[in-house]
Amino acid sequence: AICYPLHYFTKVKPKRVQVCVCLCWMFAALFTSLLLKNNLQHPGRYNSCIGDCVIEMNYIANVIDLIVTFIVPITVIIILYIRIFGVAVYQARAMRSHIAVVTTKVTVKKSEM
């Protein structure tokens, strides 16, 4: 949408967005059910009193959970924002050079720049 705004609506269709959202939710449900598999197979096994809700996870599962649910998404978000920032800077420089050419013909206000 930032790099090629005129091609956005030809590449991003509502059906494709729905499929991506459904895949994300299915992946999240599958991943969570795998992490809680032991608790789902033996419900109440770790409860010490009535109403207690304890989830037992081993160290490897905690590390995988941290990587998959926090580190990977935040890395993707940072990379995408850096890309957007780079395109915005490029477009701002292009506009600045265009305004510099036009200012010889027409005066431009500082707020417009």
What whole-number distance in Å separates Cα of residue 105 and Cα of residue 90? 24
pTM for this prediction:
0.62
- State both tokens at 109: 């206000």
Helices (H) and strands (E) in the chain, counts: 5, 0
pLDDT digits over 20-78, tens only? 999 999 998 898 888 777 777 777 666 677 766 666 777 888 888 889 889 999 999 99
Q: Parse the chain into domains and list their residue ranges.
A: 14-44+52-112
- State both tokens at 64: 């995988």
pLDDT of residue 19: 95
Cα torsion at 73, 75, 81, 87 (round to 10°)?
-130
pLDDT digits over 45-60, tens only? 666 777 666 667 778 8
Please check the confidence at residue 99 and state whether its pLDDT lies above 90. no
pLDDT of residue 73: 92
Please check the confidence at residue 4 and state whether its pLDDT lies above 60. yes
